A and B are shown apart, each in its own frame.
Chain A
Amino acid sequence: MQNFLPFYATSNYDEIQLLETINSSMSLFKTESCIETLTYYDTFDWRLYHESLALVEGAGLYTLSRLNDGQRQASAQAGDKPAFVWDFPPGMLQNQLAPILQMRALLALAQVEKQAAAYRVLNEDQKTVVYLISEIMRLPQTDTESPLITRFRLKPVRGYDDQAQALALLLQEQGLVATGDDRAYTKIMQAARRAPGDYSSKIALQLEPAMRADEATKTVLRFLLLVMQQNEAGIKKDIDTEFLHDFRVAVRRTRSALSQVKRVFPAAVTERFKADFRAVGRFSNDLRDLDVYLLSETGYRALLPEILADDIGPLFTHLKRKRSQVLKQVRRDLESEQYLRIIQAWQAFLNEPSRDDPSAPNAGQPIINLAQARLYKIYRRIVKAGHQILENVADEKLHALRIECKKLRYLMEFFASLFPEDEIGQLVKQLKKLQDNLGDFNDLCVQEEYLLRAAAELPAAKAEPQEALLAIGGLISRLDQERQVVKADFAKTFTNFASPENQAHFKRLFKPQKKVAAR
């Protein structure tokens, strides 16, 4: 389908006069006009925006378009305010949204009132040669004289490009500016006081190599605290599972930074907050577990033979009931005196100005030295441990290696800005492959045990549990098969990770220039 090209009006613009001008050289025929309220949607972490897409609803019709040129990608009618991709009717729109939104909920971010009129430009045979739409957008419930956006959109008819070009020229002569659709989106978001892309759980910080280690570490930790705070409301409102997930990752990263960046803070401070954030992480362990099982419901069903697929139902009914209780507890915990005190004290510590003569031995070191030493040490530890596993694969050793890899990954993310972007990016990619393998193995172990426990918890009163237990048994055996496959894959994955080229790459980037105390 050909595109509607937007032309924006600037100030001192008179629509009636403009239409008259067009009419004097072309024959303009008005076909329809309408007023509707448009609502703009995206996820909390701006997944559509990051794909240069906008999802707009008007009169129950949801339309996905490209931001840069306004090209419509797909649309569908959906009632009852769909929050998740699975709430949309099956079809093109759902297919396009699914890989982008995944499990994230859509939030209504901005609203405008649009007044539109459609025109056809006719030639001497009364044949339509160009379509023209005039659009005026205002914020709802505002009576301001000047609208937020005034624009024309022009759609050429195939085979009549000359006429479209003539009209485009005429619009430009009248002072309208031809530009991509980003302008409308940007203005609407601005007016709604939204800043597209303002939330991401990814660490995006610029550290300087010469920065004092305690200052640099605090910068990272301040960012992580902000992520926790940004997600609290979404957890309490139970908008989707990822608020909690991001919150927990920030807590884990905080604990990792406290224990992995050695001796930059006084030992008592480090120990205290390590314990505090261990407690904060524990608040939500159960809730996250339940989220993970509930998110994989479809996947689990697909693993089962058809004859058992429906019998797994009681398990999920049970887990859902359990989740709503656990969620209440997490809400209470996030409002508890204990949590508020931890966050307050932490904030106070992070915002404390640094002393000129810090007591912690590594506090005054340039961060680059500390980062390199620590990264290189853990990297070598992983390579050594991995080679031992190659000789004798044991489940516990794989778990231990997974933890080490996670430490390395977090450190690489904290300090990524100290190294050339593409080089560290490549190493992260290599590490991620190994982590995926180890992570899959761990998930499968944990799931098998969890399902076994859940089976014991199922209420025994009804007739279903017999079949439900069979289904759970079937699921466990499928997961175990899968686990053996993943385990067998370890050797290849690790050998790739520890290849001589990769080792040289890690060494070049992280091997410290001189010795420092980075025990």
Chain B
Amino acid sequence: MKTVAIYSNKGGVGKTAAAVNLAYLAAQNGAKTLICDLDPQSSTTFYFRVKPKLAGKAQGLTKAGKPIDRSIKGTDYPNLDLLPADLSHRSLDITFNAMKRSRHRLNKVLDPLAGEYDHIFLDCPPTITLLAENIFNVADLVLVPLIPTTLSARAHEQLLAFMRKQKYDPERVYGFFSMVDRRKKLHRDLALGMHKQFPHIFQTPIPYLSQIEQMGLQREPVPAFAPKSAAAKAYMALWAEVSKMVG
């Protein structure tokens, strides 16, 4: 089992779209896949037409064993299951904090699923607290969407510095460009500069495209409702790169 966390400490960077589409593509290729919606905004859950609710409330997620298993929902796509979001995830950070070995709790929760799934995707909330540290501990690959701007370059540098300081392996962190506007010269220039600054950035950029925004209306992954679209092709190319790391 390989775990991919889609993580950013900023909101609105195309994180959920990436998680949903990449998980869908992994499942389409035949891998048993689970996507976990850890974000209390529950966008992933919404995209899969599932109601956000968790059988055991937040304690269910933090205790290893049965409850997480019971909360999993089958999506409309073969090989793809979903762990829906729960509003009580808001309090996850507090819950983790109150427990021993609180930085490893998520490992414990996901371990029992190792036999069942080939891939687990974590759609993470924008935070750099204890939950984030749990995510860094559990993920084989931390995938960070980057909008080519000066601020996001700074934020990414801060993230890597934080990981080094806390002794997390920054080698597992990979970026990819998200919401790229090809018409903007600034985007092109900044992207070039960031490729030089950060060696771990995937080649495929995800452009800013209306099909991706339509996911909210269609409530389906892009390759499911527009398999030939530019957006679908971009995610396929990105998944081809990512799957080499976690395949």
Contacts and interface: CB of A to CB of B under 8 A. Distances in A.
A pairs with B: yes
Contact of A158 (B51, B72, B219): B72
Contacts of B219: 125-126
A297 B154 CA distance: 67
A160 B48 CA distance: 14
B232 to A, nearest CB: 21
B49 A158 contact: no
Given A157-B74, A159-B73, A159-B74, A127 B81 contact: no
A73 interface: no
B71 interface: yes
Interface string A123-143: 001111000000000000000
Interface in A152-175: 157-160
Contact of B71 (A120, A127, A128, A159): A159
Interface in A450-503: none
Interface in A408-432: none
Interface string B32-50: 0000000000000000111
A212 to B, nearest CB: 61
Contacts, number: 25
B49 A126 contact: yes
Given A127-B49, A157-B74, A159-B72, 8 more contacts: A120-B76, A127-B48, A127-B50, A128-B76, A159-B71, A159-B73, A159-B74, A160-B74
Give the interface size class of chain A: under 10
Chain B CB count within 10 A is highest, among A127, A128, A157, A160, for A127
A126 B71 CA distance: 20
Contacts of B71: 159
A434 to B, nearest CB: 42
B214 to A, nearest CB: 16
A158 B73 contact: yes
A265 B107 CA distance: 78
B49 A160 contact: no
Chain B CB count within 10 A is highest, among A120, A128, A157, A158, for A158
Contacts of A127: 48-50, 76
Interface in B23-78: 48-51, 71-74, 76
B238 to A, nearest CB: 27
Contacts of B73: 157-160
B91 to A, nearest CB: 23
Give the interface size class of chain B: 10 to 19
A128 B73 CA distance: 11
Interface of A: 120, 125-128, 157-160
Nearest to B71: A159
25 contacts: A120-B76, A125-B49, A125-B50, A125-B51, A125-B219, A126-B49, A126-B219, A127-B48, A127-B49, A127-B50, A127-B76, A128-B76, A157-B73, A157-B74, A158-B72, A158-B73, A158-B74, A158-B81, A159-B50, A159-B71, A159-B72, A159-B73, A159-B74, A160-B73, A160-B74
Q: Across the A-B interface, give the 8 residue pairs with the lowest CB-CB distance, nearest first.
A: A159-B73, A127-B49, A158-B74, A157-B74, A125-B49, A128-B76, A158-B72, A159-B72
A127 B52 CA distance: 13
Nearest to A129: B74
A126 B50 CA distance: 10
Interface in B78-130: 81
A125 B219 CA distance: 10
A164 to B, nearest CB: 11
Contacts of B76: 120, 127-128
Contacts of A159: 50, 71-74
Contacts of A125: 49-51, 219
Nearest to B50: A127
Nearest to B79: A1
Nearest to A156: B74
A120 B74 CA distance: 13
A98 to B, nearest CB: 23
A43 B167 CA distance: 61
A95 B81 CA distance: 28
B82 to A, nearest CB: 8
Nearest to B32: A1
Nearest to B48: A127
A335 B76 CA distance: 62
A160 B53 CA distance: 13
A160 B76 CA distance: 12
B197 to A, nearest CB: 43
A127 B82 CA distance: 13
Nearest to B82: A159
Nearest to A161: B70
Contacts of B49: 125-127
Contacts of B51: 125
B51 to A, nearest CB: 7
Nearest to A158: B74
Contacts of A128: 76
Contacts of A120: 76
A158 B82 CA distance: 9
Nearest to B220: A126
A114 B81 CA distance: 31
Contacts of B72: 158-159
A5 to B, nearest CB: 15
A1 to B, nearest CB: 9
B53 to A, nearest CB: 10
A127 B49 CA distance: 6
A499 B49 CA distance: 70
Nearest to A125: B49
A126 B73 CA distance: 15
A243 B72 CA distance: 52
A184 to B, nearest CB: 24
A119 B49 CA distance: 18
A127 B73 CA distance: 11
B193 to A, nearest CB: 44
A126 B49 CA distance: 7
Contacts of B81: 158
A128 B76 CA distance: 6
Interface string B202-238: 0000000000000000010000000000000000000
